[in-house]
Amino acid sequence: MKRLTKPSLVTFISRQLRHSRAVNSFPTKFYINSGQTDPFRHQFAHCQQLSSKSCGDITKEHDSSIDKDKEQQAKDKTKKMELPEGVMIGFGNPLLDLTTTIEDTMLLEKYGLEPNAAIIAEEKHMALFDEIANQENLQLSAGGSCQNSMRVFQWIVGAPYRAVFFGAVGMDKFGEVIAKRARADGVETLYQLREDAPTGTCAVIISGQNRSLVANLGAAAYFSEDWMDSEESCCAVDTASYFYITGFFLAVSPNTVLRVAQTASETKRTTILNLSAIFVLQMHKQELDEILPYLDFIISNKAEALAFADTHEWNTKDIFEIGKRMQSLPKDNGRPRVIMITDDICPVLCFQENEKILEYPVPKLSKKDIVDTNGCGDAFVGGFLSQLVQKMPLDYCIRTGIFASHQVIRVVGVQIDKMPNFNDSCI
């Protein structure tokens, strides 16, 4: 594939943005490439987003009752486990990340951006993408929260194509770039290809230890449920045992999420939801409440958990009370729900049945090791899921998530090729 030069990149982004603005209705068809030259296909062997608060209010004692002998036995057992291809499916919005580092806040102020937040691009932000494309330090990478998590998942699992990623991209060069880079990291892509919208992009602006994200969803906003009826999709869903869904994707295709979550619950498979962003909770409460009974795990940061409580009118800011109430919400099947709440450098809180609360300390990093916080939450999820699918103890899953986030934070973006080799001694 011919490498895009900066002038052509600027032109292409501009054309995409104009195309995005021109699209004003959801398409009724989906498209896939065909033939041996299709860069998006791979045959299955079996199928033919932080609140930086003080930790001073964390007073509960860490539960250290984990049976270390049982944990070691579990490790020894799962080391021999061969995960099937497609054991994990992730649903999210595939985006091409356009990353730049700035020395001051002028660019942020120009477009009214917070230094450490994630938003959906509005008309006033469209010129930002052209401006970033002209930056000397521009970096391109396969992005989107869920896709990042799947790439980290694959880095730790090792064997390729254990994770499959669903989302929508345009039939354009950027879509090919994302597919190529995701599959280079071992992630199978079952993209719904849209002829009527360009591949989505995300402006990532790094300032110091902060990152501001502005997403122009493009084709990602047009994922439609009928893609789940395709032969490839049905095969993938039948194969998978775990389904990870971001709140961002819930905002795009709630019917798909409800369908997948109900199917997983009925067939005793596992569904994990990441709340992802405050706006998801504020704007999509009804859709979220519909799928809550089918969720086995909910992952949130503190700010999102507080927003969840606010939208449900719980009238409390006690994070422990919120976590317990989220855990005890009605559930469709008999499996107890697990709630995980992260909070920057504060302990990860884990809420389980019978009001059991576990805390997992986050080791402190030196300032010189903190290069880019973009993707840390995604990495935590990827690390956690990599052990969950291997049926490791919850303690080990969470510590693997923390380890993964600490590796990603040391580089710009989620650069899997710069990660160390993973083994049990890392945890």
Catalytic-labelled residue, pool 378, 395, 417, 424: 378
**Residue 378: active-site member:** yes
Q: 158 in the Ramachandran plot: left (φ > 0), alpha (ψ -120 to 50) or beta? A: left
Distance CA 339, CA 341 (A): 7
For 254, phi and psi rounded to 5 degrees? -60, -30
For 167, phi and psi rounded to 5 degrees? 180, 180
Distance CA 399, CA 68 (A): 14
The one-letter code for the residue type at 268 is K
User: ∠ at Cα 239 (388, 227), nearest 5°?
Assistant: 110
**String of DSSP letters for 406-423:** HHHTTSSS--GGGSPPP-
Distance CA 53, CA 30 (A): 44
Q: Which tokens sit at 229?
A: 């009826």
Burial 258-277 (b: 16+ CB within 10 A, else e): bebbbbbbeeebbbbbbbbb
Burial 63-74 (b: 16+ CB within 10 A, else e): eeeeeeeeeeeb
CB 148 within 8 A of CB 414: yes
Q: Which residues contact 343 (CB under 8 A, 6 or more apart)?
A: 50, 51, 53, 55, 301, 302, 319, 349
Q: Which residues contact 228 (CB under 8 A, 6 or more apart)?
A: 234, 237, 256, 259, 260
Query: Among candidates 247, 250, 235, which has minimal Cα distance to 188?
Result: 235
Distance CA 414, CA 408 (A): 6
Catalytic residues: 378
